[in-house]
Chain A
Amino acid sequence: MSELLEQARAWVGRPASPPATARDPVNLPMIRRWCEAMGETNPIYLDEAAARAAGHPGIVAPPAMLDVWAMAPYRPGGRTAEEGMAVLSLFDAAGYTGVVATNVRQDYGRYLRLGEVVTSTPIVADVSDEKRTALGIGHFVTLAYDFTVDGEPVGRMTFRVLKFRPNLAQPHSAEPSAEAKAWPHPRPAITHDNAFFWEGVNQRKLLFQSCEGRLRHPPGPMDPLTGSLDFEIVEASGRGTIHSFVVMHQPRLPGFDYPLPVVLVELEEGVRIVANMIDAAPEAVEIGRAVVADFVEIEPGYLLPAFRFA
């Protein structure tokens, strides 16, 4: 168990803070505001006659206001040390600065009447193991409140909070340009070394460098065997077999149909190239199948090689 958890668990069963006595007795103005905010329209909370007609000695407070009366004062910036709960401060000090209420359950003993002064006593009921949540890593702390009037129990509340290390948002980079947003089909990078290959594709030809009859791909400036910077360019037949393949599911680019087969084809001249298939169901693609090259016009003036089953 972590030191933090051990320290926090030592609070279980002990008062989370000293008992708090309401600064104002149960009163009509606060009930009225609460009912307005909550959309509560039951007349027994505001009208003396209605309350009596319902069998009450006079106006009663909405039961769900149980924990309102003795709440700590609202202060911008949070509670003072005296008003806070040491068990929660332990987590703050350890970097678990986030807090979110996750569950509340109230049990009511009886209705509260105007003029009664409520006292609230919170006990630390439970501290959970470390949990990973969407908000961040943290611990659930459960507080059990007893509410009394002049020592008479009038209700109980279980209140659970998550104390967590916030997942702080990362800074975002600037908005992508309009051009990037339009998602043009990805294009090859053209260099002095490979321009012939892509120009050939645009003319519906598969062109490869050849040195002493050995074809090579991808293009490069030097023949690795002889060290020659000279080469011929030869056109391949386009006939070959599937050497390997994948079927893309993720990630997906606009402009492609998924599931998307991508094939590595070994051409009969001995070089291999990667391309897509035309008119081929993904499940029909298999290693060893004969294929023949064709070309697809992606955009006007931009072609890519592709293969069909032979």
Chain B
Amino acid sequence: MNGLSGKAAIVGIGATEFSKNSGRSELRLAVEAITAALEDAGIDRAEVDGLSTYTMDNNPEIEVFRNIGGRQLKFFSRIHYGGGAACAPVMQAAMAVATGVAEVVVCYRAMNERSQYRFGSGYTPPPVPNAESAHYGYYVPFGLISPASWVAMAARRYMHETGATSEDFGRVSVACRAHAATNPAAWFYQQPITLDDHQASRWIVEPLHLLDCCQESDGAVAIVVTSAARAAKLRQPPAIIRAAAQGAADDQQMMTSYYRSDIARLSEMDLVAEQLYAQAQVRPDDIRTAILYDHFSPFVLPQLEAFGFAGRGQARHFIAREGIGPGGRLPVNTNGGQLGEAYIHGMNGIAEAVRQVRGTSVNQVPGPGHVLVTAGTGVPTSGLILAAE
């Protein structure tokens, strides 16, 4: 337990449509989503005094701020490491609110990741070498150039260590697409897949099929964070931030932690899980539903293990026997995830977690209990546990 638990809440969520070609600037997507989130919260735009996003977001806080009519920006921060950032802006927003540094902090992620650029097309080094480009230099000259390829190396070892198969990865995709099929906001609305579809889809990087890989999307999501005290007076039922944590551990690298003794585990997520459970004072049995980062399906399995839903190497049995799809023991990614809804770098998953707390998800998981959200895996990462109180 630390001083953060229960101090802040998510009180507003907003998003643009999710598409393959937004037809407008990323900055416009950002302000549209932020405006929607503030309207959802019932908070005036002029009240925003904090902004937080990812280093990979192309929309500077000050450009966003002048467009939304902001007046005094007292807190702004950006988190590094791609989708691993996802929950961390919310964590920093909660810290800012809990310490009185700011009162209304908006977290946002806006991108034309399909129509203007594609993360999967390969790494391009900066003109001046630095520690980060030196890192990619150990992979890119060998053709190992895409996020899918960096993840595939660990996934292959995971299969070797645990006996997991491509079909076990495919069950993750099938579950996510089943959830997306009933979510009108999902790109793959009404388009469920079968395990046969997964197995028949073409190779991207063995052992990853196309249907192991998340989408590429245009769109934006914004999240409004304020104090728990103020949240109680606002129009939406608050999603209290019971726990928020970041993690990097065990000879961490960006996507290629190939030098730690066991490359089949996500040591950074082990660290996040440990912190989240301690802060929120809950156990796996207390988690009703989880949004587990699914840029690539194989990494959902070690996440289930990191959070104690299954023993080490046993996630495939948990998925097959207890279920992560509709009606399963732990419905995962009830919005369809990034495999099914859209790839907004994890921010859309946080919005879904809020809907699960409010009871307004299209795939609402009934009953009490906490909601878990994680960020990008295989990279320095982050996570949240949300609850109604």
Contact = CB atoms under 8 A, between A and B. Distances in A.
A121 interface: no
Contact of A272 (B133, B156, B202, B259): B259
**Is the interface on chain B under 10, 10 to 19, 20 to 34, or 35 or more residues?**
35 or more
B52 to A, nearest CB: 26
Contact of A251 (B19, B20, B121, B137): B121
A246 B156 contact: yes
A246 B157 contact: no
Interface stretch (B74-82, B102-110, B142-150, B220-228): B142-150
A190 B120 CA distance: 24
B21 A250 contact: no
Nearest to A287: B160
A264 B138 CA distance: 11
B283 to A, nearest CB: 33
Interface string B137-169: 111111111101100111011001000000000
Interface in B153-191: 153-154, 156-157, 160
Contact of B204 (A186, A250, A256): A250
Contact of B23 (A166, A243, A304): A166
A187 to B, nearest CB: 6
Nearest to A217: B259
A274 B129 CA distance: 20
A153 to B, nearest CB: 41
Contacts of B142: 262, 274-276, 304
Interface residues of A, number: 43
A231 interface: no
Nearest to B114: A170
B205 A248 contact: yes
Contact of B137 (A167, A189, A246, A287): A189
Interface string B89-123: 00000000000000000000000100110001110
Contacts of A271: 259
Nearest to B207: A246
Interface string A225-249: 0000000000000000001111111
Contact of A246 (B116, B133, B206): B206
B135 interface: yes
A22 interface: no
Interface string B246-288: 0000000000101100010000000000000000000000000
A274 B145 contact: no
Contacts of A282: 206
A260 interface: yes
A188 B318 CA distance: 42
B24 interface: yes
Given A170-B116, A262-B142, A189 B203 contact: no
A167 B140 contact: no
Contacts of A262: 142-144, 149, 153
Nearest to A243: B157
B259 A189 contact: no
Contacts of B21: 167-168, 170
Contacts of B153: 244-246, 262, 264, 274
A33 interface: no
| Chain A CB within 10 A, most for which of B19, B20, B153, B160 | B153
A275 B258 CA distance: 13
A165 B218 CA distance: 15
A165 B23 CA distance: 9
Contacts of B129: 189-191
Contacts of B140: 186, 188
Nearest to A218: B138
A251 B146 contact: yes
A109 B305 CA distance: 73
A159 B136 CA distance: 56
B205 A247 contact: yes
Contacts of A218: 134-135, 138, 259
| Chain A CB within 10 A, most for which of B122, B156, B207 | B156
Contacts of A165: 23
B203 A247 contact: yes
Given A186-B145, A246-B149, A272-B258, A251 B122 contact: yes
A245 B152 CA distance: 8
B36 to A, nearest CB: 16
Nearest to B154: A244
Contacts of A168: 21, 23-24
Contact of A244 (B23, B116, B263): B263
A271 B258 CA distance: 10
B177 to A, nearest CB: 16
A262 to B, nearest CB: 5
Contacts of B137: 187-190, 194
Contacts of B115: 170
Interface string A264-308: 100000011111100000100001000000000010000010000
Contacts of A170: 21, 23, 112, 115-116
13 contacts: A137-B19, A190-B129, A191-B130, A194-B134, A246-B205, A246-B207, A249-B205, A253-B122, A253-B145, A259-B206, A262-B153, A276-B142, A276-B143
Given A191-B129, A217-B259, A262-B149, 8 more contacts: A167-B19, A170-B23, A218-B135, A246-B156, A246-B205, A253-B145, A264-B157, A264-B258
